[in-house]
Structure 1
Amino acid sequence: MEAVPEDIVIVGAGVAGLATSLGLHRLGIRSLVLESSENLRSAGYCLTTFTNAWKALDALGVGDSIRQQHERLRSGEHEVRCVKRKFLLEALAKELPTGTRRFSSKVVCIEESGFFKLVHLADGTILKTKVLIGCDGVNSVVANWLGFKKAAFAGRLAIRGCAEFEGGHGFEPNFMQFFGKGVRSGAIPVNDNSVYWHVTWTPSSKEEELEQDRAKVKQIVLSKLGKVTEQARALIENYELDGFISLPLRFRHPWELLWGNISKGNVCIAGDALHPVTPDLGQGGCCALEDAVVLARCLGEVLLRKPTEKGEEEKDEHKRIEMGLKKYAKERAWRSTKLISVSYLVGFIQESHGNMMTFLRDNALAGFLSGFLLKMADFDCGKLTIS
């Protein structure tokens, strides 16, 4: 089959993939986004979006439309909202030109072809692209091609849900978080009618075996909640049984980012493909939006520049693309390493079983942990402006 030419191919129509495509579109650069599923996926229900995410969304031109549908939490100077993932994806996709997304397009193989990459799809289609960007999540095909290992199991499970209330839920606009022995739970209002909830815990070997038995998983979760408000407990108790699917939390070892290739030639990764992370800081999606703005800007700086020599356009462009992706990788490497490391550390402290660590967490480390969170949220990825 003859290869179909595409300037930029983005694998994965999640937060990072759609945001990167939109950032490029704002700069007048076309891309094609491949998604293996039949439509936009909204697994995970909601994202906690902090100030750094809103700066990225404003740079992409969609911040205000998303704000209108999601309540701001009481969080001091920081802008924090719980955003429905499906709404966010639709808001990003709505701004993209027709033909930008291609569904049911699973990547099975990547090949070198001179200055290009050949992207083989499961349906037999072959795409020939100048730039390949992997935004294909924790099990990234592109990250694997770059030499990264499969994301590691963090030893913890998570269950998430979003409860809907027709007459209003009655929760105050606060981030609620509760701790037990080896468990962390929380609830966050999304708007007047929706509340997002989550539970993460370290399972015993027996509990891991019951992963697919939803009734028993629900019993386990309720037995582990510990001291939570009656309102929060009722939220989980009344949630439909079909929603009790426990998922393993995965992360990338931080040293892999320091030693590995975030970019190589005309290929790079972003979002969960770059920094799969435990959810303890609520920053995974926020940093994926940062990635998108920085990556679009770095590519725009090199793709919108004219070739330096006549007759060397293809070679010159490939070199410029490589330099642009290297710049992106350099900007995001330390930020991503810190995100993974701090999230893992915070999760370890918050879900500790030991009496001493529990005492320290509840009495001495609260300010220390919140300081970590605010420091990660106090970041500006910059505008899309090309200098």
Structure 2
Amino acid sequence: MGGAEGEVKQEEMVIVGAGICGLATALAFHRKGIRCIVLERAESLRSSGVAITILPNGWRALHQLNVASILRKTACPILGTKDIWLDKNKQKDMPFISGEARCLKRSDLIDTLYHALPPDVVKFGHQIISVKLDPQTSYPMVQLQDGSFIAAKVLIGCDGAKSTVADFLELKPTKLFDLCSIRGLTNYPNCHPFAHDSVRMRRNNVSVGRIPIDSKLVYWFVAHPWMQADNIASVDTELIRQYTFNLVKGFPKDVVEMVKNSDLDSLCSTRIRYRAPWDLLLGSFRKGTVTVAGDAMHVMGPYLGQGGSVGLEDAIVLARNLAKTMSSTPTDPTNVKEAIDHYVKERRMRIVQLSTQTYLTGLLIAESTSLLVKFACIVLMVILFRKASGQTKYDCGTL
């Protein structure tokens, strides 16, 4: 753990959370020659999350981190998208023409980012329980579960939707969609029969998505209105599989078999959280020299497949803005605050746009949304987001 109770360690930069955004942020600073440490509460890398789609804007960020070429070898490109309405016997096929997109195993992405870092950067078994500002220096003080403290010149919270650092910044609590997502992986030892397309099927109030990762491994999800039973099923992977099996009855045979043969260890069930667009527009993302990135800043529903890619963008933009200030000796806290403000300004409208598009999409999908609200959502989507894939053209720039 961190050390003796009451002990205070000094660090230049501390990142909380060794998830995708935390590791990417650490790697971005490493590429700029700036030392940082990452505090991870788990005792080892966390591979939960199953898989993640990285869209063209995310690949631009991975290229800046010098890991894109490694990750391309782990997954095949997505060549097209299919939307299938089983109830209406209707299908819409579209080639994927917006640029590179692949579905990566989350563990492949995490491992690649981690191994690109020096071996002493990530500190496992370090759970933070509070953040406060030192009254003398105004720098953040992080208290660990073992009672020790770390004083940092910069603190970056990449600790997810239930972020301790976001709580310190007094960001509004995340909200819940009335939607549950069950995700898993299925391995086909003799190769699966599916084209390398992102397929989404709908029947009644259940949606099934399927994206091949490579010739043998397929990522899938089942989304449905949240019920109290989801809380019970989520604690046991065998229960999750049986519960999901019942949800997909009536879907094509290959979907039923995919769920039936899924890897038990990969299964997870979560209720979808989000930060409201108006909270992102008005929230304060800096206090002193503390800020947030990734889901801690802008957790959103999975409807656009942008969560991971946007977190990678955050890493590049944050490192670019802070690098010049952090490389000077001694570090001037006023300059650090200005650099964080530039980062926040650069990111705010980007994440507001994405969260708005995601929020409207979620309302359209939700069973509980009234017809009048759905009509208003459609009008807003047509006005604001005429091109559904327009967000993938965003370029976060160079490190």
Q: After TM superposition, is the score higher than 0.5?
A: yes
Structure 1 residues 334 and 226, CA, compared in 2 at 3 Å: closer, same or farther?
farther
Structure 1 residues 217 and 383, CA, compared in 2 at 3 Å: closer, same or farther?
same
Measure the CA separation in 2 of the matches of 1:69 and 1:382.
25
Instruction: Give the structure 1 partner of residue 362 of structure 2.
Output: 347
Equivalent AA in structure 2 for residue 22 of structure 1: L
Structure 1 residues 376 and 233, CA, compared in 2 at 3 Å: closer, same or farther?
farther
Which among 100, 110, 130 is matched to residue 131 of structure 2?
A: 110
SS of 1:302 mapped into structure 2:
helix
Which among 121, 126, 132 is matched to residue 100 of structure 1?
A: 121
1:250 aligns with 2:273: yes
**1:180, distance to aligned residue in structure 2 (A):** 2.4
What RMSD in Å do the two structures reach over aligned CA positions? 2.8
**1:226, distance to aligned residue in structure 2 (A):** 7.0
SS of 1:195 mapped into structure 2:
strand
SS of 1:188 mapped into structure 2:
strand
Conserved? CA contact 2:184–2:266, under 8 Å:
yes
Which among 47, 50, 54 is matched to residue 42 of structure 1?
A: 47
**1:208, distance to aligned residue in structure 2 (A):** 5.3
Instruction: Give the structure 1 partner of residue 108 of structure 2.
Output: 87
Instruction: Give the structure 1 partner of residue 219 of structure 2.
Output: 196
Q: Deviations over 1:198-247 (max 9, x none)?
A: 01111345555655476665455344447644323321122255655421
Conserved? CA contact 1:179–1:227, under 8 Å:
no
Measure the CA separation in 1 of the matches of 2:353 and 2:49.
23
Instruction: Give the structure 2 partner of residue 335 of structure 1.
Output: 350
Measure the CA separation in 2 of the matches of 1:107 and 1:283.
28
1:133 aligns with 2:149: no
Conserved? CA contact 1:49–1:81, under 8 Å:
yes
Structure 1 residues 203 and 71, CA, compared in 2 at 3 Å: closer, same or farther?
same
Measure the CA separation in 1 of the matches of 2:371 and 2:249.
18
Instruction: Give the structure 2 partner of residue 54 of structure 1.
Output: 59
Residues 263-274 of structure 1: pairs in structure 2 closer than 5 A:
263-274=286-297
Conserved? CA contact 2:203–2:251, under 8 Å:
no
The runs of at least 4 aligned residues of structure 1 exceeding 3 Å deviation read 204-229, 240-245, 350-357, 364-373
Q: Deviations over 1:11-46 (max 9, x none)?
A: 000011000000001010000000000111111111
1:13 aligns with 2:28: no
Structure 1 residues 235 and 51, CA, compared in 2 at 3 Å: closer, same or farther?
same
Instruction: Give the structure 1 partner of residue 142 of structure 2.
Output: 119
Conserved? CA contact 1:130–1:318, under 8 Å:
yes
Q: Matched residue pairs, number?
A: 372
Which among 169, 183, 197 is matched to residue 192 of structure 2?
A: 169
**Percent identity for Structure 1 against Structure 2:** 34
Measure the CA separation in 2 of the matches of 1:216 and 1:68.
34
SS of 2:394 mapped into structure 1:
coil
Instruction: Name whichever of 345-354 and 373-382 sits farther off.
Output: 345-354
Measure the CA separation in 1 of the matches of 2:52 and 2:26.
20
Equivalent AA in structure 1 for residue 209 of structure 2: G
SS of 2:186 mapped into structure 1:
strand
Structure 1 residues 372 and 158, CA, compared in 2 at 3 Å: closer, same or farther?
farther
